[in-house]
C-alpha cells in the first residue's frame, strides 16, 4: 500500500483521536486566540444597548442539556448585558428542559449579588409553556390569562414587574436562544409578523443558515450564531466565559478538519495520478 493510499483511508480511530487531542490542548490550557466579532452578534449587542432603561425583554430559553454547551454561555453573556443596562426580564421556556437550564444560567449570572436585581421586580421566570407557537401566541396575546403563577408557584399578579406586563405591547423586544427550528422561526411569525415586535435570535451555528434570511430582511435584528456568537457576546459584554475558551477549541478542531480535508484531497489526487501513470 502506497503512502497516498494510506493517507486516503486513515482509520476512523486516528481521525477522531487527533480531534480529541485538538480539543484537549486548548481546553486544558486556553490560549486566548484573537477573534473577530461578527456583525450579527454586534447587532444583537447594539440592539440591547439601545433599549431605554427599564424596558422589558421577553427571553425564551429554548434548549436543553444538548444545547447548553453551545448556547448556555451566550445566554449568560446576554443576561449580564441585560442586567447591567437595568433592563427587565420575563423569562420563559419553550423547551421542556429549559426550566433546568434556567438555574444553571442564573447561577453564573447571579443577578442579585452582581447587579442588585430583585426577583419579581427586575426579572421573573414563568417556566415551561407547552405548545411552541401556541405558547408564544399565548404569552404575547394575554400573558395573565395564560400564566397565573411563576415557576416557583408564586402568583405573578402581585409582582411589580408582572403588573406592568400583559402581552406583546409591553415587551420592548423578544429574544430567544434555541436548538429548535420551529422555535427559531416561530418567534418571527408570532412576535414580528403578528405583533410587530423586534426579535433577537440565538441558535446553533448549523441552524444559522435557516434563520439568516430573517436577519437580512430585518425581521431579526441580531443573531447569536452558536459558540462563535456566544464568544462574540462574551467579548462585547466584557464577561469572558466558556464560549471564548470554546472558540480556541473551535479554532484548533476546525483547523484540523481543514488539514484533514487537504490531506484527503491531495492523497486522493496523487493516488489517481499514480493509477493513471
Quote the CA–CA distance of 194 and 189 in Å, as a whole number: 6
Q: Find the part of the chain contacting other proteins (CB under 8 A) among 48-56, 114-122, 170-178, 209-217.
A: 209-217
Number of CB atoms found within 10 A of residue 162's CB? 23
Q: Which of residues 154-193 bind other proteins (CB under 8 A)?
A: none
Q: How far is the CB of 55 from other proteins (least distance, A)?
A: 24
Binding test (CB under 8 A) with other proteins, winner from 73, 98, 138, 186: 138
Quote the CA–CA distance of 49 and 47 in Å, as a whole number: 5
Q: How far is the CB of 18 from other proteins (least distance, A)?
A: 8
Q: How far is the CB of 85 from other proteins (least distance, A)?
A: 26
Binding test (CB under 8 A) with other proteins, winner from 1, 113, 130, 277: 130
DSSP output for 185-244: HHHIIIIIIIH--EEEEEE-HHHHHHHHHHHHTTSSSEEEEHHHHHHHHHHHHT---HHH
Which residues are 65's β-sheet partners? Answer: none
Binding test (CB under 8 A) with other proteins, winner from 208, 233, 234, 241: 208
Asked if residue 72 lies in contact with residue 100, where contact means CB atoms within 8 angstroms, the answer is no
Quote the CA–CA distance of 178 and 68 in Å, as a whole number: 10
Question: Which residues bind to other proteins, rule: CB under 8 A?
Answer: 10, 12, 15-16, 19-20, 23, 33-36, 38-39, 64-70, 96-97, 99-100, 103-104, 129-131, 134-135, 137-138, 141-142, 145-146, 151-153, 194, 205, 208-210, 212-213, 216, 228, 231, 247-248, 250-251, 253-258, 260-261, 263-265, 268
Amino acid at each position: 500500500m502506497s503512502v497516498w493510499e494510506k493517507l486516503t483511508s486513515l482509520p476512523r480511530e486516528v481521525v477522531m483521536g487527533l480531534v480529541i487531542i485538538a480539543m484537549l490542548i486548548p481546553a486544558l490550557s486556553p490560549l486566548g486566540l484573537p477573534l473577530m466579532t461578527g456583525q450579527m452578534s454586534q447587532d444583537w449587542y447594539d440592539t440591547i444597548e439601545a433599549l431605554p432603561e427599564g424596558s422589558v425583554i421577553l427571553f425564551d430559553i429554548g434548549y436543553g442539556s444538548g444545547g447548553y454547551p453551545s448556547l448556555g454561555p451566550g445566554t449568560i453573556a446576554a443576561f449580564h448585558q441585560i442586567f447591567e443596562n437595568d433592563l427587565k426580564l420575563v423569562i420563559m421556556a419553550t423547551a421542556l428542559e429549559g426550566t433546568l437550564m434556567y438555574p444553571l444560567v442564573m447561577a453564573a449570572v447571579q443577578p442579585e449579588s452582581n447587579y442588585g436585581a430583585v426577583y419579581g421586580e427586575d426579572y421573573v421566570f414563568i417556566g415551561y409553556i407547552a405548545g411552541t407557537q401556541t405558547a408564544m401566541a399565548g404569552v404575547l396575546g394575554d400573558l395573565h390569562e395564560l400564566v397565573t403563577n411563576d415557576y416557583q408557584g408564586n402568583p405573578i399578579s402581585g409582582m411589580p414587574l408582572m403588573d406592568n406586563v400583559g402581552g406583546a405591547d409591553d415587551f420592548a423586544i423578544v429574544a430567544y436562544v434555541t436548538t429548535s427550528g420551529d422555535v427559531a422561526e416561530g418567534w418571527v411569525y408570532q412576535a414580528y409578523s403578528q405583533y410587530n415586535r423586534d426579535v433577537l435570535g440565538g441558535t446553533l451555528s448549523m441552524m444559522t443558515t435557516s434563520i439568516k434570511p430573517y436577519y437580512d430582511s430585518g425581521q431579526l435584528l441580531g443573531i447569536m450564531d452558536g459558540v462563535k456568537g456566544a464568544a462574540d457576546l462574551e467579548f462585547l459584554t466584557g464577561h469572558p466565559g466558556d464560549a471564548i475558551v470554546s472558540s480556541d477549541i473551535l479554532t484548533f478542531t476546525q483547523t484540523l478538519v481543514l488539514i484533514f480535508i487537504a490531506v484527503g484531497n491531495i492523497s486522493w489526487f496523487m493516488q489517481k495520478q499514480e493509477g493513471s501513470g
